[in-house]
């Protein structure tokens, strides 16, 4: 598997080259959100706003009203937790094209509970006019720019940084409202988003060799959630559906699927893999993934329980999971 380093750092500069309306706003996390090359390349289009997120979000609303496309960059928690009222009133209500790039979703940082965004999808998707996207690999980190830019109103993006695998062919960019079907089967449906897709791919590759037929769908457009193919697939699944997300099980992908199933009157079992209504703590990604049950092994355990069969898959059976060292040269600091 190809691992790319600092995808957004390079891509943003190239992407924004022919878009003079694009401004980048930073809240003192310029290197940490990979916008330092943009700052150095287009200093006139880079606005340093300091550690003052409430002002930054309302200010971005003002810029957007005058025809600019502000790209707000900081850690996700500092967008939706610190400036929620500002997003609601200055950005979402007036339906302005402010694009918010939230970094460090869920277990992606050892920065602890203050830095880990575990309920951002839940909060942002309940805002009227908001579009919510999540990136799962390097191809999506690159192509999410066109998707976000193409939406007329505000967009919240769960963004990735540092070393990122390329799971999807670059010839298949992210598209608004389009899911990716990664395998076919009628035994059960697995819906995954963000970094969980890589984990799910590992687990399902082994399980499919053991004869389980799984329809695996990757979701990157969380709102609007107009995916009839998902409901059709769940209706056909023998055992039910499992959602897997790097987010609280309240309000994210699992909840969205539950709402959709209830609306369609689907009486199938739903297992939600995610952060089980708890805060996290500061530790490495693989450690947190195991502790909170967000890794390939957790998916295998959930499937065994759902289908009532043991597959006896151990760590050795799973392909080596890619581990990103905490002190990587691809990151500006150890967070």
Partner 1 sequence: MTSRQRDEWTSQVYRVAGGIRRRVLEHTIRNNGGYLSQACSAAEIIATLYLKAMKIGPATVPPVPPPFAGVPGPGNPAYASGAGYNGPQGPEWDRLILSPSQYALVLYAALVELGRMAPEGLAQFNRDGSTVEMIGAEHSPGMELMTGSLGQGISQAAGLAMARKRRGDRGRVFVFMSDGEFQSGQVWEAIQAMAFHRLDNTVIYVDVNGQQCDGLVSQVMNIEPLDKRLKAFGARVIRIDGHDVKALARPAGLKPDGRPLVVLADTDPCRGIELLAGRRPKLHYTRFERETEREAFRSLLDSL
| Binding positions for partner 1, rule: CB under 8 A | 47-50, 52, 54-55, 57-68, 85-86, 89-90, 93-95, 128-129, 152-153
Kindly state the smallest distance separating residue 21's Cβ from partner 1, in Å.
10
Closest CB to partner 1 among residues 68, 292: 68
Closest CB to partner 1 among residues 95, 281: 95
Kindly state the smallest distance separating residue 103's Cβ from partner 1, in Å.
21
Kindly state the smallest distance separating residue 125's Cβ from partner 1, in Å.
15
Kindly state the smallest distance separating residue 63's Cβ from partner 1, in Å.
4
Q: Judge whether 310 and 216 are in contact, CB under 8 Å.
A: no
Kindly state the smallest distance separating residue 38's Cβ from partner 1, in Å.
17
Structure token pair of residue 206: 């082994």
Residue 292 DSSP code:
T
What are the distances in angstroms from CA 168 to CA 91, 138, 192, 209? 32, 8, 14, 21
Kindly state the smallest distance separating residue 284's Cβ from partner 1, in Å.
34
Structure token pair of residue 110: 């050892």
Closest CB to partner 1 among residues 61, 274: 61
Closest CB to partner 1 among residues 49, 212: 49
Closest CB to partner 1 among residues 56, 121: 56
Closest CB to partner 1 among residues 129, 179: 129
For residue 85, give the H/E element and its range: helix 84-86
What angle is formed at CA 2 by the lines to CA 155 and CA 174, rounded to 5 degrees? 25
Q: Judge whether 56 and 83 are in contact, CB under 8 Å.
A: yes
Starting at the edge strand that comes first in sequence, how are the strands of the sheet with 46-48 ordered? 46-48, 22-26, 69-75, 99-103, 155-158, 131-134, 221-223
């Amino acid at each position: 598997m190809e691992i790319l380093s600092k995808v957004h750092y390079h891509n943003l500069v190239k992407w924004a080259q022919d878009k003079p309306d694009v401004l980048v706003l930073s809240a003192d996390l310029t290197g940490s959100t990979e916008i330092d090359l943009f700052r150095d390349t287009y200093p006139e289009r880079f606005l340093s706003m300091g550690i003052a997120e409430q002002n930054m979000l309302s200010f971005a609303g003002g810029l957007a009203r005058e025809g600019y496309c502000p790209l707000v960059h900081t850690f996700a928690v500092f967008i939706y937790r610190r400036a929620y009222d500002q997003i609601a009133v200055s950005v979402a209500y007036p339906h302005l094209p402010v694009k918010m790039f939230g970094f460090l979703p869920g277990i992606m940082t050892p920065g602890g509970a203050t830095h880990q965004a575990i309920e951002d999808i839940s909060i942002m998707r309940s805002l009227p006019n908001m579009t919510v996207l999540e990136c799962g690999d390097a191809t999506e980190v690159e192509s999410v720019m066109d998707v976000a830019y193409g939406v007329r109103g505000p967009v919240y993006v769960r963004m990735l940084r540092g070393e990122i695998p390329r799971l999807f062919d670059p010839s298949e960019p992210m598209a608004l409202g389009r899911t990716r079907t990664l395998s076919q089967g009628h035994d059960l449906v697995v819906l995954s988003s963000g970094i969980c897709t890589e984990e799910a791919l590992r687990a399902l590759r082994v399980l499919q060799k053991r004869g389980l037929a799984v329809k695996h769908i990757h979701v990157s457009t969380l709102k609007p959630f107009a995916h009839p193919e998902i409901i059709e697939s769940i209706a056909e699944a023998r055992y039910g559906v499992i959602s897997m997300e790097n987010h609280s099980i309240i309000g994210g992908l699992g909840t969205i699927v539950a709402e959709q199933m209830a609306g369609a009157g689907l009486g199938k079992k739903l297992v939600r893999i995610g952060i089980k209504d708890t805060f996290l703590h500061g530790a490495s990604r693989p450690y947190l993934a195991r502790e909170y049950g967000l890794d390939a092994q957790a998916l295998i355990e959930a499937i065994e329980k759902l289908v009532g069969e043991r597959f006896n898959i151990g760590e050795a059976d799973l392909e080596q999971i890619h581990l990103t060292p905490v002190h990587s040269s691809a990151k500006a600091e150890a967070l």
